[in-house]
Amino acid sequence: MAAREKGRRSRLKAVFLSALSAFAPLCPAVAEPEIVWEPLGTDLEQANAKLNPDSVFSASVVLIRSSLANYRLQVLRAADYGWKRANVRAMCREAGASACINSNFFDEQGRALGLVISRGIIQQKIHRGGGTLTGIAYVTPKSVGIAHRDAFSPEGVIEATQAGPRVLDDGQLVSGLKESSFRTNLSGMCLDRQGRVVLYRVSAGVFGSSLPLLQRLLLAPGVNCVDALNFDGGGSSQLYISGEIPGHAGSVREESFPGRDDVPVALALVPTGPYREQHQPPR
């Protein structure tokens, strides 16, 4: 682009931003997101929301929640099923899980980036560099948590996935997430004040997905998260909800929010105990 054209566009952008700043005090506050949870089955709920309820063009959000009384959080590796990469729906059905979401980022060869622990085995070590893969979601025999990579210890951990950026830390906004942080879609996980696991997937609206708006949604009373970690987004972002959920009342419709790209790692909510026996989806 010619220097003169660049200069003209820069001046127009400056005028536009100045005008927005002038009118901002006159604009009403953004409405609080309305969150209504619907039971999918025993210990599994779903909610649908908008990042910005005041906009008809707002990105939509699907949230899945469990207390883990009848579920366990498990890392799924495509390699465990004979694939290099796969879509989340395929991995979820192979694992007999009720809900799954993509997690780790990956390189051009399809190899997962960052820590991967599955069934207590460290499949891949922690990635220490850069400012994106700063968080780790992990499972021990007694707890589930989200930690900064520098404060994480793999001792006693049976499942873990590394991604980023972190969105919430101990009920506080993680700083540095600018309004320019947009993706076509977003995926992630958070833990609420009751210790429940919440998986979320944002399907971008006309103007994309904003991480600051996502922070606001996750802190809203209907979600009430204290720690949150973003997973790989864009074409990798995908969420799957099984049509065979144990303990459900009536029929449950299979829901799939596919991504453009196959992924090497996913995070799953897998039924435990007698619920595991009830859940045998067709292959």
Q: What is the 3-state secondary structure (H, E, C) of 129-156?
A: CCCCCCEEEEECCCCEEEEEHHHCCCCC
Nearest to 78 by CA among 95, 65, 99, 66: 95
The pLDDT tens digits of the residues spanning 154-194 come to 999 999 999 999 999 999 999 887 654 455 799 999 999 99
The pLDDT tens digits of the residues spanning 80-133 come to 999 999 999 999 999 999 999 999 999 999 999 999 999 999 999 999 989 899
Identify the weakest region by mean pLDDT among 72-81, 166-175, 232-241, 250-259. Answer: 250-259
User: Is a pLDDT exceeding 70 seen at residue 6?
Assistant: no
User: Is a pLDDT exceeding 70 seen at residue 255?
Assistant: yes
14-26 burial code (b ≥16 CB/10 A, e <16) = eeeeeeeeeeeee
* pLDDT tier at 212, thresholds 50, 70, 90: confident
* Domain spans of the chain, in order of start: 33-278
* pLDDT tier at 32, thresholds 50, 70, 90: low
